[in-house]
Structure 1
Amino acid sequence: MHFDVLTLFPEMFEGFLGSSIMKRAIDQGLVTTSVVNFREYSTNKHRTVDDTPYGGGGGMVLKPEPLFRAVEDLTKDEPVRPPVLMMSPQGTPYTQKKAEELARHDRLILLCGHYEGFDERIREHLVDEEISIGDFVLTGGELPAMVLMDSVIRLIPGVLGNESSAETDSFTTGLLEYPQYTRPAEFRGWRVPDVLLSGHHAEIDRWRRRQALKRTLERRPDLLESAELTEEDRAWIREMTQGNGGRKD
């Protein structure tokens, strides 16, 4: 999979792409990236990429010419232009389902804004989708772009090594992830649940499913409205909500 990132601050991506799972994915050839300073596509000698807004107001607005020229240059050999995504607080809230959808593409182009925002013609005629990582405002789109890249890259087969890791993450199943434990079996008097030490895989799966349901019910009950639940799940949730929340299975 290939990512083109258009930003005024390409140096922000050096540590991100040179560390941890991102670096490993790139070293293995599973991911390629091109971080482009779109100032290089400015049409004047001063390399200006922004200007004051028509009608007045504070801040500076990103001009359309540099971004249009950058995207058109990067995609000139593509028979079909890959999706162009704008990182924006006005965009669609980002979810795990959206990450899974984006991971099916071979290439994505990410636009990282700065200053007051984008000329509206960029939104209307260049961008395929606007994406927001939350209801708050950041200095620029670089951090949201990194969040998107991280969440998508880890879904690419071979990146994590253990494919089941991504399958059981929070939100992938529609539920929050169940509690995890490792050695020692007892620490300061706190024991790992006996079922996890039993070696009985069916019982372990059952315990994990119910713990995921319990945690989701307690912390993010809104997720249960769209989660894929079995009749057994629904019966257990009813039992939990009717005052039997102290059970340990």
Structure 2
Amino acid sequence: MRIDVVTIFPGYFEPLRHALVAKAVEKNLLEVYIHNLRQWATGNHKSVDDSPCGGGPGMVMTPTVWGPALDDVAAGTGPVSTACRLTSAAPHANKPRHDDLSGTGFSGYTDTAWIDPARGEAPCDGDKPVLVVPTPAGSPFTQEQARQLAAEKHLVFACGRYEGIDQRVIDEAAARYRVREVSIGDYVLIGGEVAVLVIAEAVVRLIPGVLGNATSHEQDSFSDGLVEGPCYTKPARWRGRDVPEVLLSGNHALIDTWRREQSLRRTLSVRPDIIDRLADDNALSTDDLEYLAQLADDAEHHS
């Protein structure tokens, strides 16, 4: 996969030179290029913004800068043609983790491009790169979207600032990109850089070969629609608190049942809306429904 990031603060992306993202770079599973938007700005001040049409507070990022930048990223021309790949901050040791020793094979979630017919996209658009624009006005970013993006060959991230990017940039970019406006939450950040880091980490860890064992992300929160339950490690007793006995039993069937129940319990506690949605979609098993009914009975008896 290739990732291009366009930003006015390239230094924000130092974290991509560390941890699993850097490991993916070292293994040649990922190429990352960071581009300073001001390379496409003109004038003495290299300005990238102007006052909003119609009045109002703040500034809006201009199409005359963003347009050429995205043109070059799509075509690999201009400053993009000579950009240097991001490198790892320090080589990672090749020492395997315990789950690497018996890691399961994983070839990706899908081999097809993410096409959105609602945007007028056709299968022939699959060769276009995906342009991801973080914005509070976008659709909520989900684990399913992370899976879809992980199957892509080329992702481009546009980091907005101030009041955002002129909407004409986003609309016009659809000629060269499959555009995705996404939000990482119902709040407003200073700029899109932090959101890009969040999305990049969520996506890169799903690229085949990045994690040593596919089950590491198959058991993640939201991978099956539920929030992940609690996890434990050694020692078996710490400060008077014990690891649940079932996890030390060696009975994997019981452990799987316990983990599923804990996931249901936690989801019901922190995200009851998810339980309601899964129930409406008939995505809960009979055992799930029986356990949830038991939780409801217990809650009623203790009220």
User: Do the structures match in fold with TM over 0.5?
Assistant: yes
Residue correspondence of structure 1 range 121-160 to structure 2 within 5 A: 121-126=168-173, 128-160=179-211
Tell me, yes or no, if structure 1 residue 108 matches structure 2 residue 155. Answer: yes
* Percent of pairs with identical residues: 43
Residue correspondence of structure 1 range 32-181 to structure 2 within 5 A: 32-76=31-75, 80-126=127-173, 128-181=179-232
Residue 75 of structure 2: SS of its match in structure 1?
coil
> Aligned equivalents of 1:233 and 1:102: distance in 2?
30
Q: Give the equivalent residue in structure 2 for 1:192.
A: 243
Is contact 1:174–1:226 with CA below 8 Å preserved after alignment? no
Q: Give the equivalent residue in structure 1 for 2:3.
A: 3
Q: Give the equivalent residue in structure 2 for 1:241.
A: 296
2:295 alignment partner AA: M
> Aligned equivalents of 2:76 and 2:61: distance in 1?
26
> Aligned equivalents of 2:140 and 2:268: distance in 1?
22
> Aligned equivalents of 1:151 and 1:102: distance in 2?
9
> Aligned equivalents of 1:70 and 1:30: distance in 2?
25
Residue 298 of structure 2: SS of its match in structure 1?
coil
> Aligned equivalents of 2:242 and 2:300: distance in 1?
20
**CA offsets per residue over residues 158-192 of structure 1, 9 Å max, x none?**
11212211111111111111221111111222211
The TM-score with structure 1 as length reference comes to: 0.92
Aligned length: 245
> Aligned equivalents of 1:137 and 1:98: distance in 2?
20
> Aligned equivalents of 1:121 and 1:232: distance in 2?
51
Residue 116 of structure 1: SS of its match in structure 2?
coil
Tell me, yes or no, if structure 1 residue 211 matches structure 2 residue 262. Answer: yes
RMSD: 1.9
1:214 alignment partner AA: R
The TM-score with structure 2 as length reference comes to: 0.76
- Structure 1's unaligned 5+ residue stretches are none
2:247 alignment partner AA: L
1:121 alignment partner AA: R
Cα deviation, residue 45, structure 1: 4.9
